Amino acid sequence: MSRALLVGVDQYGDARDLSGCAADAGALEPLLARHEDGTPNFECRTVRGTVLREALLTDLDALLGPGADFALFYFAGHGREAHGDVVLGTTDGTGATSGVAFREVLERIGASAVKEVVVILDCCFAGGAGTMALLDSGAAVLRSGVSILAASRGDQVSWESRGRGRFSVFLEAALDGGAADVLGHVTVASVYAFLSESFGAWDQRPTFKANIERLHPLRHCRSAVDVKTLRLLVQWFPTPDHVLPLDPSYEPDALPRDPVHEAVFAQLQACRASKLVEPVGHQHLYFAAMESLGCRLTALGQHYWHLSDRGYL
C-alpha cells in the first residue's frame, strides 16, 4: 500500500505569503493518485493554504504509521536555514519556531516501519535536508530506503513564476511521462535526472540524496515499447551483437507480401523509435530492409536484451 502527503503552504499571515504552493500540491495530486492508465497509485492526502505546525506533525505521523510499505512526502512553502538543517515553514510559525525542522521529519522516518520513503521539498534552502551532522564523525546518515529530492541547494532560494513553483512545474512534467523509461516507469532517480537537466548553471540546482537498494516506480506511464516486444529481442537477436538480416519482405510496401516479416518489422520500428535498434549500412530502417541490409541492437537495446535473457521482463 502506498500513501502520499502533499502539503502546499501559501498563507503565512504577512508579506511572506506565497502564491503557487497550494497550486503545486493540487497539480501533483492527480499524477500521484493514478497511473497513466487510470489504475490506483498513491492514496493521497493533500493539505493546502493554511497549515499549522502540530497538524503537519500529526499528518506526518499518520503518513509514516503502520499499514503502508511506500510513503511519499511533498512540501511546498517557505524554507529557512537553521544550523545546517532546513525548517519547513508553517502558517503559525514564529521567530523561535518557524515550522517543522527537517530533523524532526528524519526522526519520524527513522522510527517508521515503512520500507521506502520519498521526500520531495520545494522550498528555499531545501538542499539542507538530510545534511545535518548526525554522527560525531560529522557524516550525515539516511536510513535505508529513504531518498530526498530537493528543489535547490542548501544555500539557495527556490523561485515561483507565474503562480507556480518552477521546480514543481518541471516535477509535474517528469511524472507525466517526461522521466519515464522505455517501459514507462518513472522513478525518483529518473525524475532527478529530468529536473537536473531542466535548470541551468545560473539557476537553482536540484539535489538528490538517497540510501536505496532498488528503485520502485513513483508512477507508471505508457510504455514506449510493449514488454512482449522486448521479450522477443532474444529471439530476433540470438546474441547482443547479432546483426539481424533484413530484406524487402519486411517492408509492407514491397511485393510479395510477408505478414510474419511485416509484423516483426513494425515492432522493430517501435524499437528504433526508442533507440533500442539501429539500421546497419543505412541511416533509415526502411532502406536497410529495401536494400537487404540489416539492423542491430544499440547499447540501450542490449541492456533490455540482457533483462529479457535473464527473465527480468
In this prediction, residue 135 has a pLDDT band, given cuts at 50, 70 and 90, of very low
Mean pLDDT throughout 292-310? 97
Mean pLDDT throughout 212-230? 94
Q: Does residue 86 surpass a pLDDT of 80?
A: yes
Top pLDDT among 141 and 16 is at 16
Coil, strand, or helix at residue 1? Answer: coil
- C-alpha angle 153/175/214, rounded to 5°? 75
In this prediction, residue 296 has a pLDDT band, given cuts at 50, 70 and 90, of very high
Across all residues in the chain, what is the average pLDDT? 91
pLDDT of residue 140: 54
Residue 31 burial (CB count, 10 A): 23
Q: Does residue 127 surpass a pLDDT of 90?
A: no
Q: Treating both helix axes as pointing N-terminal to C-terminal, what angle do 53-63 and 102-111 enclose, rounded to 10 degrees? A: 30
- Domains of the chain, earliest start first: 2-220 (3.40.50.1460), 227-309 (1.10.10)
| Cα–Cα separations (whole angstroms), residue 30 to 34, 45, 131, 200 | 6, 11, 31, 28
Report the distance separating Cα 20 and Cα 86, nearest Å: 20
Stated pTM of the model:
0.90
Q: Which of 32-41, 79-88, 133-142 has the lowest mean pLDDT?
A: 133-142
pLDDT of residue 132: 57
Strands (E), the chain: 2-9, 43-49, 70-76, 79-82, 85-89, 99-101, 116-122, 146-150, 160-161, 164-165, 185-186, 207-211, 219-220, 244-245, 277-280, 294-297
Mean pLDDT throughout 83-106? 87
Q: What is the pLDDT of residues 159-189, one digit of tens each?
A: 777 778 799 999 999 999 999 999 999 999 9
Q: What is the pLDDT of residues 71-84, one digit of tens each?
A: 999 999 998 888 77
pLDDT of residue 244: 97
In this prediction, residue 158 has a pLDDT band, given cuts at 50, 70 and 90, of confident
Q: What is the pLDDT of residues 239-249, one digit of tens each?
A: 999 999 999 99
Peptide bond into 256 cis (omega under 30): yes
Chain centroid to CA 122: 15
Q: Does residue 235 surpass a pLDDT of 70?
A: yes
Tell me the percentage of the chain whose pLDDT exceeds 90. Answer: 74
pLDDT of residue 138: 46
In this prediction, residue 136 has a pLDDT band, given cuts at 50, 70 and 90, of very low
